[in-house]
Amino acid sequence: MSVLFETTALVLSWRPYREHDRSYSAFTRDHGKIEFVARGGSKPLAKLTPHLETMAEVRLLLVDGRQYFTVAGTDRLRGFRSVYENLTKTTLVQNAFAFVDLGTRTHELDEDLYDFLMNWLEFIEKIPEITAERAGFLLATFALKFLSHLGYHPELSHCLVCRLAVREGNYRWHALKGGVVCATCFDKDREQWFAARLIDDVTLKLLRFALTQEFKEQLRPHLSGNTLAAFHETIESLIIAHFPVIPAVSMREACKHL
Ligand SMILES: [Zn+2]
């Protein structure tokens, strides 16, 4: 027997499914991530899909069938018009949400993550026109915070081995071990730390800032070319080392042509 239920969700992504249908992934406050199908045959997709974009909080009426959920009705609860109308903002939300889709499993309740996604939408809705560099920086910052939320919080202040606070210019970054190692510990066991690479003070400070400060503060840091490149490389190395799937497009690439 099929059961109808209602939930509030943010659509993470969608893809064509079978010939006329679409398969959706959405994050809900009360069920975590869910997947459902919008049928093209029974009810015209055109009636359902305008609300099923990544730029809105929607109410979903779902049919819990044997094999999968099917959407029977949708209602837009809150639209984010500025995100919808601006290519940079749309890119930022779609890429961030696609990243979350890759990093989460279905039916794992996580209200904090729902709030985090809502927070991101609200932030992006309000930002002024930004450069492609800033957009890439914001997206990478989102990825860093999300990784931290998943449990891959990088250690950026204390040496992973001796736990002493790292001194300026005297440490290396190791993505797989998830943090920095001081020069003394590195020298003691170079074989163990052979993959650790130098990272400069400005980049480390920017990483700490991105990790600890709210989204709205991320419009402030000055972004110089070299630092920004090192910032992206560090976060990409963290994604490669810890994320279940490596996104097809990097945060940098996604924003390159904006
Ligand atoms: Zn140490």
Number of domains in the chain: 1
Q: Residue 199 phi/psi, 5° resolution? A: -140, 135
Report whether 36 contacts 69 (CB < 8 A): yes
What is the structure's pLDDT at 140?
97
The answer to the question of residue 26 being in a domain is: no
What is the structure's pLDDT at 42?
52
CA 90–ligand 1 middle distance (angstroms): 43
What is the structure's pLDDT at 229?
95
CA 5–ligand 1 middle distance (angstroms): 54
CA 47–ligand 1 middle distance (angstroms): 60
The answer to the question of residue 95 being in a domain is: no
CA 163–ligand 1 middle distance (angstroms): 6
The domain in which residue 157 lies consists of: 130-258
Report whether 48 contacts 71 (CB < 8 A): yes
DSSP-assigned letter for residue 49: G
CA 184–ligand 1 middle distance (angstroms): 6
CA 117–ligand 1 middle distance (angstroms): 36
The answer to the question of residue 250 being in a domain is: yes
The answer to the question of residue 110 being in a domain is: no
CA 169–ligand 1 middle distance (angstroms): 13
What is the structure's pLDDT at 53?
77
CA 153–ligand 1 middle distance (angstroms): 18
CA 240–ligand 1 middle distance (angstroms): 24
Q: Which residue type is seen at 79?
A: G
Whichever domain contains 233, its CATH number is 1.20.1440
The answer to the question of residue 3 being in a domain is: no
CA 197–ligand 1 middle distance (angstroms): 15
The answer to the question of residue 164 being in a domain is: yes
CA 150–ligand 1 middle distance (angstroms): 26
What is the structure's pLDDT at 210?
98
Q: Residue 244 phi/psi, 5° resolution? A: -60, -35
CA 137, 142, 148: angle at the middle one, nearest 5? 125
- How many Cβ atoms from other residues are within 10 Å of residue 158's Cβ? 15
CA 49–ligand 1 middle distance (angstroms): 54
The answer to the question of residue 244 being in a domain is: yes
CA 231–ligand 1 middle distance (angstroms): 22
| First-last CA distance in the chain | 48
pLDDT by residue for the chain (258 residues), tens only, comes to: 568 999 999 999 999 888 888 899 999 999 999 999 988 755 566 666 667 777 889 999 999 988 889 998 898 999 999 998 999 999 999 999 999 999 999 999 999 999 999 999 999 999 999 999 999 999 999 999 999 999 999 999 999 999 999 999 889 999 999 999 999 999 999 999 999 999 999 999 999 999 999 999 999 999 999 999 999 999 999 999 999 888 888 888 999 888
CA 175–ligand 1 middle distance (angstroms): 16
The answer to the question of residue 56 being in a domain is: no
Report whether 117 contacts 32 (CB < 8 A): no
What is the structure's pLDDT at 39?
84
CA 108–ligand 1 middle distance (angstroms): 37
